[in-house]
Structure 1
């Protein structure tokens, strides 16, 4: 049986031989579901990356002893800005932090988060 190949080199690059049609590349999400960044669990879920991000944000706020901007949390925790924003949003929904508008938006611990 002959293998049909395209003369277009990109088709060979994009679909290397030996790859099954139903096989996904490593790290690919289920079909039809948009991928989410690590730590991007909306409800807190059971994503260990999200739990680590929550802990790191809370630890940084406790260590600072006062409000911090998202940018300051980003630099101190070395988390991505989206991870910080997702963690702050989840912690705010749990009542552990409050987001206030001063010159910039700042994140502060609530009484429940201390």
Structure 2
């Protein structure tokens, strides 16, 4: 994802300036809206899955940084901790699914069969 490097640089810059957590909240809300839009607008299922996994990972990192800011209101800190865990679970699930599909593809290629899943 081309913007991922930029987002990671922004994330490290925002953690250094934790006196403005609203910037990080704004960024994560923006990323979440892109996650929803990208999951329905990608050209292929594979592209959609790859993009959504990367974006979910960036969202999780943003929420984790927010949850660890010292001056964040307790209710927002708790919400960010909970959401960070949920997004981490989603990333883990998507990664496991990708691994299973890769193994299935290898097995089917080894046996000389093709699957509609792999096309």
* Bigger strand share: 1
TM-score, normalised to structure 2's length? 0.31
TM-score, normalised to structure 1's length? 0.32
